[in-house]
Structure 1
Amino acid sequence: MPKDANLHGDVFGGWIMAQVDLAGSVAAARRAGGRIATIAVNAFLFKQPVFVGDLLSFYAEIVKVGRTSITVLVEVYAERNRLETEVVKVTEATLTYVATDENRRSRPLPPC
């Protein structure tokens, strides 16, 4: 949306970061079987700008599981020029989530 971009039509990085966190949290919450919290953004790389009008796809993959934590790789692709279907990788990030209980304290992950 226009409110999420600068005057040149580039989408704000902070908006993309929020969407990456949401995408990563889906995979983490499924593996945790419940509530999770983001505890670290281990890496975040903007490879290409994102423009107003781009169609974004977010792909999340669990890359590491600890006793209470889950590390997720999220890759973001933009579909541009939809008549010609140009797809470019625009962002990749690695985030770590921790499983939490009803008191928001860390808890062990359930077995696979």
Structure 2
Amino acid sequence: MKPKKTKSSAGSSGTGTPKVSSLQGESKSTATEVQLAKLLARLRHRPHHTHELRQCGISHPAGRVLNLMERGFLIESARVTTVDSDGFQHHGVALYSLIAEPNGQQPQ
């Protein structure tokens, strides 16, 4: 029998934006809310692709992007070719760009 999965709103401010104030000292945490805050901070700065997001501790970038989109963030993805740290090319890697935030704000 599989254990039941439950959703928790802990760590969320209720506005659709991950609560950043609770993230102090948790930079290596794999908690979803921590990963969402990391992802959002990076996408507010510039577009990032899957490999970059994994390097900064976001283990499933596509899933976290979907979580943000479900909270009202408008995020576009494009497919690009990247080169990994071992020098191998990867085609069709997702490049995520934050277009707008839930309340209609444009990213800073």
Fold match by TM threshold 0.5:
no
Q: Larger % of strand: which?
A: 1
Q: Larger % of helix: which?
A: 2
Query: TM-score if structure 1 supplies the norm length?
Result: 0.28
